Amino acid sequence: MPDKKIKALLFDLGDTLLDFGKLNPGEIFRQGARLSYDFLKSCGQPVGSFKYYCLWNMAALQFRRLISNITGNDFNSLTLLRWAGMKKGIRLDGQQWRHFAWLWYEPLRKISTVAPDIRETLTKLKNSGLKLGIVSNTFVSGCSLEKHMEQVGILDFFDPRMYSYEFDFRKPDARIFRIAAERIGEATENIMFVGDRIDKDIAPALKAGMRAALKTAHTNAGKKIPDGAWKINHISELPDLIEKINSG
C-alpha cells in the first residue's frame, strides 16, 4: 500500500504567507513611481518630469501585462524596469537596478502583514521533518520578494522558491505543479499545497494529485471550497492539521 502521508508543503506567496489584502493599484503605482524617481534623480539620471516618468512606466507595464494575459506567461519586473529605463538613457549598475526595483515594490511591503507566529509555525513544520517550498504567480522580481521575506524572517524556510516569470507557464498550468514536486523531491500524493486562490491554487493542486488547504482571504470570500480540500483561517493551523492527516 503506498505511503500517502504528507511529507512536503508548497505555499502560494501573496495573501497566503504575505498578506496584502485588497489593494489600490493606482496608489501603489504612484508611491513606487515617486520613490524610484527620487532615487534616479539622486543618482543624476536623466528622468525628465515626474508626470512623464509615470506615463512612460505605466505604458510599459500595461503593455507587458496585456501580452502576459494573452500568452499566459509572466514577466520579470526587474527586466522590464531596466529595459524601460535604458530606453530613456538611464544607466545603473546591477546593485542599483535591484534597489530601483525594490523601491517600486516597497509600497506593497509597507502595507503587507505576516502572522505574528509565522516563524514559530514554520519552525514546527520544519522540525517535524516536512519540506517547505513556494510556488507563486508573480511578475515581481525574486530579488524583491526574497528581500521582503528575509526582512520578515521567513526566507530560509523555503527551498525551492519558484516564481512564474521563470517559466513559460503559470498556475493553474499542471506543469508548474509537476516541476514543483520534482524540485521538492516528493510524489504529488505526499505534498499539500497551501494557497488563497481556488482557481489558481486549490483546484489545480487537487487535479495534480496533491492535497490542498485553502487559507481564508478576501480572494476566496463566499466561495465554496472544492471537495477534498481543507480550509484554514491561519497558517498556524497547519501543524495540527497535518498531524491529524498523517495519523489517520
Interval 12-39 mean pLDDT:
95
Q: Against a cut of 0.75, is the pTM above it?
A: yes
Are 16 and 195 in contact by the 8 Å Cβ rule? The answer is yes
Please name the residue ranges forming H helices in 11-141: 25-42, 50-71, 77-87, 94-111, 118-127
**pLDDT band at residue 248 under the 50/70/90 scheme:** confident
Q: Please, which residues have CB within 8 angstroms of residue 51's CB and are 6 or more apart in sequence?
A: none
| Tally of CA atoms within 13 A in the half-sphere of 50 that contains its CB | 12
Write down the pLDDT at residue 114: 96
Looking up cell 524617481 gives 37
Rounded-to-integer distance, Cα 212 and Cα 197, Å = 11
pLDDT digits over 57-113, tens only?
999 999 999 999 999 999 999 999 999 999 999 999 999 999 999 999 999 999 999
How far is CA 234 from its chain centroid?
Answer: 18
Buried b or exposed e, range 198-228, using 16+ CB within 10 angstroms: bebbbbbbbebebbbbbbebebbeeeeeeee
Domain 8-20+113-247 has what CATH class? alpha beta
pLDDT digits over 104-114, tens only?
999 999 999 99
pLDDT digits over 213-247, tens only?
999 999 999 999 999 999 999 999 999 999 999 99
**pLDDT band at residue 4 under the 50/70/90 scheme:** confident
Are 13 and 137 in contact by the 8 Å Cβ rule? The answer is no
Q: Is residue 1 predicted with pLDDT exceeding 80?
A: no
The whole-chain average pLDDT of the chain stands at 95
Interval 33-54 mean pLDDT:
96
Q: What percent of the chain has pLDDT over 90?
A: 96
Q: Which three cell numbers stand for residue 85?
A: 529605463
Q: Please, which residues have CB within 8 angstroms of residue 27's CB and are 6 or more apart in sequence?
A: 107
Are 105 and 144 in contact by the 8 Å Cβ rule? The answer is yes
Q: What percent of the chain has pLDDT over 70?
A: 99
Write down the pLDDT at residue 2: 63
Write down the pLDDT at residue 3: 78
Are 155 and 31 in contact by the 8 Å Cβ rule? The answer is no
Q: Please, which residues have CB within 8 angstroms of residue 162's CB and are 6 or more apart in sequence?
A: 133, 134, 135, 136, 176, 179, 180, 183
pLDDT digits over 144-188, tens only?
999 999 999 999 999 999 999 999 999 999 999 999 999 999 999
